[in-house]
Structure 1
Amino acid sequence: MNAESGKELPRVPAFEALYGLGCRPRHGEVVMIAGRSGTQKSGLALYWVTQMRLPTLYFSADMSAFTASSRLASMMTGDTTAMVEAGMAAGGRHRAHYIDALSGIPLTLAFGSPITWQAIDEELEAHVELWDSFPQVIVCDNLMDFAEAESDYTAQMAVMSGLTELARATGATVIVLHHASDKSWEAKSDPWAPPSRDQVKGGLSEKPELSLSVALDPTSHEYRIAVIKQRMGPCDPTARRYATMRCHPEVTRFSPLEKLIPAASPSQPWSPTKILDAA
């Protein structure tokens, strides 16, 4: 039973370069996504769980409800967040278009800052009451937004221990987002390279079974992911060996490096300006 619980998570086509590094995210593991500020950590986690299509509970203290909802609608339709906002304001068929696009996604978003264990317990109880099962993925965005863990190392270690226990008790893959230092020499001299393991704040990347280090080049929109810790596979603590893909922040999507995604859906000939005028 334990061997079966550790099977690999469903693969996401956009992450083929990451799988090529030998990265194998598994059910029941604790996974950390670490990066400096503004590196689309939340966008990556949101894209990952929606593409896997597994029942997911997403605790967001880093994103507002508006931001998360707009990103989801943008991701599912290919329209920019500005178009989503304008379409929702216009109402009618435009609003229905986005609501329909989000139907069927097995994702529950829970908002509130700070994240508390009581809130996690209550959301888990509600999920079990509705579906008679635990979620298969739990996302915590992010570690420093847990109650009393904003800057205290001991509290952050306690949270990591609690998340490990949560993964063991529920069998869910727990994805936790965390920050890397913005003040190190590497951050200043090479800000678009994934931070090494020693740059992750508090040294907490050593606790999970899998730790990923991410960086975004804003000039080329190249997204770089390094495997800095993997208990059951290859890793590179220096983060010098990394996978590269394309990031599309305007639509919260990721794709293989050679593949480009249009910013707007071709099925939507209208523009935000026309919608706002109509509204």
Structure 2
Amino acid sequence: MLTASRSLALNAEAGRELPRVDAFSALYSRGVRPRHGEVIMILGRSGTQKSGLALFWMAEMNLPTLYFSADMSAFTASVRLACTVTGDETEVVEAAMAEGGAAREKYLKALESLNITFSFGSPITWRQVEEELEAYVELHNAYPSCVVFDNLMDFEGGETDYTEQMATMQTITEFARETGASTFVLHHATDKSQEARTAPFDPPPRADAKNGLAEKPELTLGVGLDPNTLEYKIACLKQRMGPCDPSGRNFAVLQAEPSKTRFHKYMGMRTP
């Protein structure tokens, strides 16, 4: 239950646009406006850098963030963030961490500027979420501005079961409303649809979300990565307060650097 003052404070914060990320300018030009307090889904097929995009996005905004990672180990997540901050290749960072000494210290200091707290463990449980949130509030005297759940199928009981995943999405919506946090959920799209066979590197349509759960969030972004050109395509599949295209055919194009967990404005001549 929320007090009147807490409810008013949450409502005042909700609806404001999240800080813009320069690399996403092509997405903003299509009327996409990620907002504070929304549930935002990043939907993609396997191997489409969903976690990389979420890490980059959180690092670029650098808002107080609580990141639940069941899909990456602590080492992997830390290395990818160090790559984002420094622009060094993954292999370089991994070698420095193994070497230790001054080489490792460089990357540890680079991570000090980030406002991201991780919780690792698989599967994700709501007891874990509650405990981590209580610890965060105890330490910071505030809820995090952003919470990331990576990913929906890694919640306890949610590997394939529709009922469990639907219940999880409903609880995530309640969680976002109670805390006021912008809540990001990563989710898989099917690899077995007609679109997956004919256009495997394009964003999936909203209908390709496993168990159809892409309709629940306020904003759903479909992502696709071309491994040959490293074109990164983002489509707005659902947006409660703006334009969207459930087919995923109207997409923005970014340039991905997977080895550095970085994304940039697309500088090529392609027009989707």
TM bin, normalised by shorter chain, reads over 0.9
Instruction: Name the residue aligned to 2:259.
Output: 250
For the aligned residue pairs, the C-alpha RMSD in angstroms reads: 0.9
What is the distance in 2 between the residues matched to 1:43 and 1:93?
26
Q: Deviations over 1:7-61 (max 9, x none)?
A: 0000000000010110000010000000000000000000001100100000011
What is the distance in 2 between the residues matched to 1:28 and 1:77?
30
SS in 1 for 2:259: coil
Aligned partner (choices 156, 160, 163) of residue 154 of structure 1: 163
- Say yes or no: does 1:99 pair with 2:119: no
What is the distance in 2 between the residues matched to 1:88 and 1:214?
31
Is the 2:40–2:218 contact (alpha carbons within 8 Å) kept by the matching residues of 1? yes
Gaps of 5+ in 2: 1-7
Runs of 4+ displaced beyond 4 Å: none
SS in 2 for 1:218: coil
TM-score, normalising length: structure 2: 0.94
Q: Deviations over 1:95-118 (max 9, x none)?
A: 111011000211001110000000
Instruction: Name the residue aligned to 2:129.
Output: 120
Gaps of 5+ in 1: 260-279
What is the distance in 1 between the residues matched to 2:108 and 2:211?
41
What is the distance in 1 between the residues matched to 2:160 and 2:94?
35
Deviation at residue 227 of structure 1 after TM alignment: 0.2
What is the distance in 2 between the residues matched to 1:31 and 1:5?
13
Deviation at residue 122 of structure 1 after TM alignment: 0.6
SS in 2 for 1:250: helix
Instruction: Name the residue aligned to 2:4.
Output: none
Is the 2:13–2:180 contact (alpha carbons within 8 Å) kept by the matching residues of 1? no
Instruction: Name the residue aligned to 2:237.
Output: 228
What is the distance in 2 between the residues matched to 1:222 and 1:137?
27
Instruction: Name the residue aligned to 2:206.
Output: 197
Deviation at residue 5 of structure 1 after TM alignment: 2.1
Deviation at residue 167 of structure 1 after TM alignment: 0.3
Instruction: Name the residue aligned to 2:176.
Output: 167
What is the distance in 1 between the residues matched to 2:227 and 2:63?
30
The one-letter code matched in structure 2 to 1:98 is Y
Aligned partner (choices 208, 221, 225) of residue 216 of structure 1: 225
Spell out the pairing of 1:26-175 with structure 2 (5 A cutoff): 26-175=35-184
Instruction: Name the residue aligned to 2:249.
Output: 240
Deviation at residue 85 of structure 1 after TM alignment: 1.1
- Say yes or no: does 1:5 pair with 2:14: yes
Deviation at residue 75 of structure 1 after TM alignment: 1.0
Deviation at residue 3 of structure 1 after TM alignment: 4.8
Instruction: Name the residue aligned to 1:266.
Output: none
Deviation at residue 71 of structure 1 after TM alignment: 0.3
Count of equivalent residues? 259
Instruction: Name the residue aligned to 1:19.
Output: 28
The one-letter code matched in structure 2 to 1:107 is I
